[in-house]
Amino acid sequence: MIVFPNAKINLGLNIIEKRSDGFHNIESCFYPVGWADALEIIPAEAFSFTSSGIDIPGDPASNLCVRAYELLKADFDLPPVKIHLHKVVPIGAGMGGGSSDCAFTFKLLNELFELGLTSVQMQEYAAKLGSDCPFFIDNKPVWVTGRGEVFEAINLDLSGKYIVLAYPNLHVSTGEAYAGITPQIPQLNAKQVLENEPYDLWKDKLKNDFEDSILVKYKQVADLKEYFYLKGAFYASMTGSGSAVFGIFEEDPNVYLGEGITSWQGVL
């Protein structure tokens, strides 16, 4: 069975407070986008994990796909499987690619072996492996609070809008990015802005709190954001902890990003 774990963007991202468990409470709209990996899992004689495409840093045995399989195997009598991941979505980019692979592994194993797990149960498993992971179970636009695992419906539909995502090949570690933040309560409620304000006001009213440090430190990230506005985006921002930047457009944009930038363009 093959699935295509897709990335996400953050529309507004406020870091509210540091918690006693070391994590931060956040507020954000998580929105799925079409840039995706390919993940195949089939029953096999012996367990194996292989990957192709972009090199994944770290030991393959600790890949989130492997950890998801092991977590389920502790509770269910799962047979050995062969997992192959073709990695396409840039890593350390703020697009949740690894988290998506993790969530899609749970969904695929649930279907393949008819485990009967509900979405909520899979979200609980996914939350054990990463704050972003539970979102990719339902994989729908949602208002997110808590550590990233508490969901509330949001009245927002960007279907048909054009999006360009650009990754300046700059790996940002999520843990380090959080460590550089001073949490604060936002002046404006981003959910209210997303649901009620016209798109052209988002530019001044929605904020990704990670931008303050990253845009100053890495000029190429700030340049990408500026370029998207120059090309007519109604909203442009860094996503997650960076360094990927997206622009959302009413019309199909004509962008040239040049060398050293990995990009993807599609429709929301």
Ligand X SMILES: C[C@@](CO)(OP(=O)(O)O)[C@H](O)COP(=O)(O)OP(=O)(O)OC[C@H]1O[C@@H](n2ccc(N)nc2=O)[C@H](O)[C@@H]1O
Ligand Y SMILES: Nc1ncnc2c1ncn2[C@@H]1O[C@H](COP(=O)(O)OP(=O)(O)O)[C@@H](O)[C@H]1O
**What does the binding site for ligand X look like in residue numbers (CB under 6 A)?**
10, 13, 22-24, 26, 28, 94-96, 99, 130-132, 147-148, 174-175, 178, 240-241
Whether 8 is catalytic: yes
Please work out, in degrees rounded to the nearest 5, the angle formed at the alpha carbon of residue 207 by the alpha carbons of 240 and 94: 10
Closest contact distance (angstroms) between CB of 5 and ligand Y is: 8
Task: Determine the Cα–Cα distance for residues 121 and 232; give it in Å rounded to an integer.
Answer: 42
Contact 233, 251 (CB under 8 A): no
- Which does residue 65 touch among ligand X, ligand Y, none (CB within 5 to 8 A, set by kind)? ligand Y
- Which does residue 105 touch among ligand Y, ligand X, none (CB within 5 to 8 A, set by kind)? none
Task: Determine the Cα–Cα distance for residues 197 and 71; give it in Å rounded to an integer.
Answer: 42
Cβ nearer to ligand Y, comparing 36 with 95? 95
Residues between 44 and 103 that touch ligand Y (CB under 6 A): 56-58, 63-65, 85, 87, 91-99, 101
Please work out, in degrees rounded to the nearest 5, the angle formed at the alpha carbon of residue 174 by the alpha carbons of 173 and 175: 95
Q: Does position 224 bind ligand Y by CB under 6 A?
A: no
Q: Of these residues, 37, 101, 132, 209, which one is catalytic?
A: 132
Cβ nearer to ligand Y, comparing 61 with 185? 61
In 3D space, the residue among 194, 64, 202, 84 whose CA is nearest the CA of residue 136 turns out to be 64
**Contact string 174-213 vs ligand Y (x = CB under 6 A):** x---------------------------------------
One-character DSSP codes across 17-76: EE-TTS-EEEEEEEEEEEEE-EEEEEE-SS-EEEEEESPPPS-GGG-HHHHHHHHHHTTS
Residues involved in catalysis:
8, 132
